[in-house]
Structure 1
Amino acid sequence: MKKMKTITGLSALLGMASSATAALTSGLVTYYDFEDLNNDASASGPNATIVGTDVAVGQTGGAVGNAATFAGTTNDRISTSVGFGSGNTLGESFTVAAWYKLDTDATSAASRFFVFEAENNFDLSYGLRNLDAGLADGQTYAGSTPNNLFTDVHTAGTWQHVLITYTANAGTTTVETYINGSALDSITATTSTISSTGIHIGNARSSSGTRAFDGMIDEFAAWNRVLDSSEISQVYQNGVNGQAVTAIPEPSVTTLIGLGGLSLILRRRR
């Protein structure tokens, strides 16, 4: 009986090691690792599409494996038909994340560089302002008015991570932005304004195609739910460790000690 209890305890610890991955695949609608344009098998969304001539996927030097590259060319982008808001795939409460690296000599017709934005509006939006103008800023929008300008949050030539959660509640949507795993300020918009039938990766909405990204984007993921704080940290840490969004995190020291101790007990009781 004691041996059976020990085995049960060992199984429980092993289960803990994989629970984070199970959580991160829950509600995962779209995950592009940009080794190609295919949606990862752990997600359920459609494949992506390249629009333009100066965009490529499967390029070396990504945050995790290979990545997509962009040259700041007007209207160039990667498009996905995954939408958000009432009646769309991601729903009204959702999460979007990506790794990005702006070139040190980045240029675009508008001197602004968008990691992603909604297809026909800026209800979902994260863009960077030109370092050559003495700026190192990121900016999010939601709806027609609310926006946040984050000063000195990005460094050209360096991989960085952005994750944004949208939480709908009682007629409003709260938008929270995380850069490199750290929470920045939030904004609130009217829920009815948060909607799009698609997302542009590497450029702004269709009417503002001069804001093309110049650099690399990797590990784009979107969930139809709001990730909690531990999941947000895990998504970021996986990338830091060069692992996919859905990778099983390495066990903590405490877990390893527990596994080692249980293993020793089992050996002694054979």
Structure 2
Amino acid sequence: MRATRTEAWTGRILLVVILVLTVLPLVSMLSAALQPADRNPTGLVWPSDPQWGNFVTAFEVGNVWVLMQSSAFIVLGVVPISLVVATLAGYALGALKIPGSRAILLFFVLGLTIPFEALIIPLYYQAQSLGTLNTQWAVIFPLIGLYMPFGVFWMRAHFVNVPPELSEAARVDGANVWQEFRSVQLPLARPALSALAILLFLWTWNQFLLPVVLIANPLNRTVAGALTFFQGQYSLSIPLLNAGALLIITPAIIVFLIFQRQFIRALLQGAVKG
């Protein structure tokens, strides 16, 4: 059923409003970041003499490059492992219909209700007992476990919606479970995997609480903690704080823009249903 002209225009207007509400804060931050460092900007006013050097100062003062490397290490430790485990578990629960799959799924869903804050103290003592405290591994291991309920639920929702006739055809052709998973299921799961990878990247890159609690050395934390280096003489410099914040969120924005097609495709294919 085709949408009427009124519905089409309503949708376009709504998209424009959402776009403005999304871009306006970023433009406001950029205009504030380009003001002189000793001024407190008021409102959305583009400076007559943009101070692009504020980004250089923020990059150096905030140790952004070092923290980006630390964040990249944590992301590379969390995202690939989470994707592999979540995909295998989601396939088992969604396509293989293993015994007790509903109870296992309910267990994972209950895991979605547990906030990070409630697990900080147990995670601290667990990291201490494992000898990973004050290292990036103290953040990597907990994040893999904390992201697993959502990851498994997300991937199961995809595999449930895959037509069973495809698996049956692969079995008729003599494929075993592993061959079917690798040749049939994985290619179909690329949009869901891409979307999940984007979400895990964004959540890990912007993680702040766990690194602050579990890692003593600020230079080994995630890039989200870069603004803590502005304490002292730069703590009241709104332009530098905005410049630092833009530097922090820029990689996340770039990653999302690159993979936005896969993310939208996963949503349209029903990756969040089931």
Give the TM-score range, shorter chain: under 0.3
**TM-score in terms of structure 2 length:** 0.24
More helix by share: 2
**TM-score in terms of structure 1 length:** 0.24
Larger radius of gyration: 2
